């Protein structure tokens, strides 16, 4: 299976990454300390393209489409940002020197939040010039209890009720943290190219509370969903608000896709807001399918 043609729009990075870092096709440098699956590159390399047989391929397509469609600025928010992987990927994908970049990163786990700042700096981005918020994502902005710990092995920390078991993570702890809402996160931004949301089960309440804000200001949304019920209800909200679906795959399924059979742990939802671009053509993904399959 060929890689999605949108990757042809981006020159594959080649060079020598900083010592101890991994480089991808965008020239995004990542420390192995951030994730136990990351292997540092050794010497001159051609940055690797993502695999197309995994659910992340749809997140890559969403991101790269948003980058190519940006006009005077590229504004992106990542909710449940971890170490800011997708924020930095969006910044690295830019090749226009005239295009201003505005990044919004929201992450509650303290080690991940610190790593997000470090990851931006490693890629030539000053975190002080962007909006980084250490908080959980909720519908009402009230304090919540949140899991901490095992940062390099686990990116599933989430809001949790005190005393509830949270899996096989013996060093994990639960503490009260501040939370914020989509409306607060986007305050002051009249147009956002992409909101990327992976907030471990809080996506339905957050989207439900602030769908009007998303519809007013956001061009494109990627949502990782964490149960079948959440997936279905989130889909209904976007559909009722007039959004157009580009990709919809429920979680915990093995599903045929245009890129072959893929195992989905998280669900995938990619939405485009026609109200902000009524004359925009349908996503390039449709032409990709025709080019791949004829």
Show me where the domains of the chain are located.
52-140+177-293
Question: Domain 52-140+177-293 has what CATH class?
Answer: alpha beta
What's the CA gap between 12 and 10, in Å, rounded? 6
Q: Please give the angle made by the CA atoms of 77, 167 and 263, to the nearest 5 degrees.
A: 60
Decide which of 161 and 62 is more confident.
62
- Asked whether the predicted pLDDT for residue 165 surpasses 90, the reply is no
pLDDT at 98: 87
Give the pLDDT confidence of 13-61 residue by residue, as tens digits.
999 999 989 999 999 999 999 988 888 887 888 998 999 999 999 999 9
What's the CA gap between 192 and 89, in Å, rounded? 16
Q: pTM, whole model, 2 decimals?
A: 0.91
> For the chain, first and last CA: distance in Å?
13
**Which of 69, 139, 82 minimizes the C-alpha distance to 111?**
82
Helix axes 56-69, 85-93, angle to 10 degrees: 40
pLDDT at 253: 97
Other beta carbons within 10 angstroms of residue 95's beta carbon come to: 11
What's the CA gap between 11 and 4, in Å, rounded? 14
- Asked whether the predicted pLDDT for residue 162 surpasses 70, the reply is yes
């Amino acid at each position: 299976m060929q890689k999605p043609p949108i990757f042809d729009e981006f020159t594959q990075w080649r060079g020598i990454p900083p010592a101890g870092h991994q480089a991808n096709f965008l020239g995004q440098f990542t420390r192995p300390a951030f994730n136990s699956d990351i292997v540092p590159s050794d010497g001159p390399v051609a940055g690797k393209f993502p695999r197309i047989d995994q659910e992340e391929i749809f997140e890559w397509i969403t991101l790269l489409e948003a980058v190519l469609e940006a006009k005077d600025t590229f504004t992106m928010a990542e909710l449940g940002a971890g170490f800011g992987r997708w924020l930095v990927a969006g910044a690295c994908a830019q090749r226009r020197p005239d295009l201003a970049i505005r990044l919004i990163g929201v992450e509650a786990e303290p080690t991940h939040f610190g790593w997000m700042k470090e990851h931006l700096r490693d890629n030539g981005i000053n975190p002080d010039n962007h909006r980084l918020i250490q908080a959980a994502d909720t519908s009402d902005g009230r304090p919540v209890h949140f899991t901490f710990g095992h940062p390099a092995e686990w990116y599933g920390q989430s809001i949790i009720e005190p005393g509830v078991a949270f899996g096989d993570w013996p060093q994990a702890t639960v503490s009260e943290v501040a939370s914020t809402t989509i409306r607060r996160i986007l305050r002051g931004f009249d147009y956002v190219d992409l909101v990327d949301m992976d907030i471990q089960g809080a996506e339905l309440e957050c989207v439900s509370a602030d769908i009007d804000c998303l519809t007013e200001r956001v061009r494109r949304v990627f949502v990782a969903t964490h149960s079948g019920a959440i997936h279905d209800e989130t889909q209904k909200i976007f559909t009722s608000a007039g959004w157009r679906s580009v990709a919809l795959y429920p979680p915990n399924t093995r599903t045929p896709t245009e890129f072959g059979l893929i195992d989905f742990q998280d669900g995938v939802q990619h939405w485009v807001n026609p109200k902000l671009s009524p004359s925009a053509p349908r996503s390039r993904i449709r032409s990709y399918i025709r080019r791949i399959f004829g």
